[in-house]
């Protein structure tokens, strides 16, 4: 008979209540911010650099053009033109397409309404900010930052970082005791998003407010002008979407139910030696 035994599984505490609550509130807030933000973008589906809109030379644009054989959607990025008919620039059901930057299924509301998009966007912006401040306060006061998010000295060694990159590229994830805490890639990514990407999205969003501009014009100037701030806001939002996509892929690859359970109940299953045969 084989003496090999399957590792037993035990549930360990991984996420505090405040971490779980703020996580799910953030999921809702960012989702609504994205959808309503695309509605606002559709009012003028083009991006520029600098202080003013150079209509003849946008950095990014989504338009509908008549190419002779009919209307097509055209997306231009840094001078490169792409046919995006049915998705960007000109979308909708065949025979009932319309000129719009992002398609109706990607915006909130689905119909054209800049006013409604702004209402949704501003409401969830306040939800996002309030929730973020609550999370940061709990993180600092509860020791979550130092205990769970700051990399240790050993984790910052080049060899260790390269090893983590190589193992994650092969979709190999920590087991046993090593799975109790975040690895260096998770810590680095979470810190970059929490302390970098999300605050950048918030600050550039404030630059879109004329009222805030009158109070702190230096902020807009610091980003290189109102149009540059709008472009950076769009890029930081896109970076947030990219982070979410990669995050979801990692959640599925490393164990969908185990990860979801840990973010609902706080308990995460790890393997221990000496399990059943």
One digit per residue, the tens of pLDDT, for the chain of length 277 reads 455 566 678 888 888 899 999 999 999 999 999 999 999 999 999 999 999 888 888 999 999 999 877 899 999 999 999 999 999 999 988 778 999 999 999 999 999 999 999 999 999 999 999 999 999 998 888 887 888 889 999 999 999 999 999 998 898 888 877 888 888 999 999 999 999 999 999 999 999 888 888 888 999 999 999 999 999 999 999 999 999 999 999 999 989 999 999 999 999 988 776 544 4
Domain that residue 87 falls in? 47-106
Q: Are residues 138 and 180 in the same domain?
A: yes
Structure tokens at 45: 């589906």
Q: Are residues 18 and 75 in the same domain?
A: no
What pLDDT sits at residue 277?
42
| Alpha-carbon torsion (184, 186, 191, 197), positive or negative | positive
What pLDDT sits at residue 276?
45
d(C-alpha 138, C-alpha 20), whole Å: 12
- Is there a domain that residue 262 lies in? yes
Q: Are residues 172 and 242 in the same domain?
A: yes
- Is there a domain that residue 65 lies in? yes
Q: Are residues 63 and 136 in the same domain?
A: no
What pLDDT sits at residue 147?
82
What pLDDT sits at residue 273?
62
- Is there a domain that residue 83 lies in? yes
| Final residue belonging to a domain, choices 106, 128, 151 | 106
What pLDDT sits at residue 5?
62
Number of domains in the chain: 2
Q: Are residues 204 and 235 in the same domain?
A: yes
Q: Are residues 23 and 53 in the same domain?
A: no
Structure tokens at 125: 């912006």
Q: Are residues 64 and 143 in the same domain?
A: no
Paired residues of 91 in beta bridges: 98
CATH number at residue 158: 1.20.950.20
What pLDDT sits at residue 61?
96
- Is there a domain that residue 3 lies in? no
Q: Are residues 81 and 202 in the same domain?
A: no
Residues 6+ apart with CB under 8 A from 241: 34
User: Taking the CA atoms of the chain, what radius of gyration do you get in angstroms?
Assistant: 23
Q: Are residues 87 and 192 in the same domain?
A: no
d(C-alpha 30, C-alpha 37), whole Å: 10
Residue 45: what are its φ and ψ, rounded to 5°?
Answer: -75, 65
What pLDDT sits at residue 247?
93
Q: What is the pTM of this model?
A: 0.88
| Final residue belonging to a domain, choices 67, 89, 106 | 106
- Residue 226 CB coordination number (10 Å): 20
Tell me how far CA of residue 52 lies from CA of 68, 175, 207, 225, in angstroms.
32, 53, 14, 8
Q: Are residues 180 and 76 in the same domain?
A: no
């Amino acid at each position: 008979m084989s003496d090999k035994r399957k590792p037993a599984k035990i549930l360990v505490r991984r996420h505090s209540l405040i971490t779980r609550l703020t996580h799910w509130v953030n999921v809702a807030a960012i989702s609504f911010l994205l959808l309503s933000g695309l509605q606002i973008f559709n009012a003028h589906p083009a991006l520029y650099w600098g202080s003013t809109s150079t209509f003849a030379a946008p950095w990014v644009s989504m338009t509908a053009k008549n190419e002779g054989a009919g209307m097509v959607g055209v997306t231009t990025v840094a001078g490169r033109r792409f046919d995006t008919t049915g998705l960007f620039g000109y979308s909708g059901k065949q025979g009932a397409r319309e000129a719009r930057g992002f398609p109706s299924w990607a915006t909130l509301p689905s119909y054209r309404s800049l006013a409604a998009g702004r209402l949704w966007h501003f409401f969830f912006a306040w939800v996002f900010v309030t929730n973020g401040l609550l999370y940061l306060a709990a993180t600092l006061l509860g020791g979550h930052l130092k205990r769970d998010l700051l990399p240790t000295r050993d984790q910052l060694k080049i060899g260790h970082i390269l090893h983590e990159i190589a193992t994650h590229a092969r979709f190999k994830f920590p087991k046993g005791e090593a799975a109790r805490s975040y690895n260096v890639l998770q810590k680095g990514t979470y810190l970059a998003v929490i302390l970098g990407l999300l605050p950048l999205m918030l600050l550039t969003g404030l630059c879109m407010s004329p009222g805030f501009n009158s109070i702190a014009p230096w902020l807009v100037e610091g980003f290189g002008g109102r149009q540059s701030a709008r472009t950076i806001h769009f890029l930081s939002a896109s970076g947030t979407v990219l982070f979410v996509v990669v995050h979801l892929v990692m959640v599925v690859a490393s164990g969908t139910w185990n990860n979801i359970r840990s973010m609902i109940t706080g308990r995460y299953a790890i393997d221990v030696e000496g399990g059943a045969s």
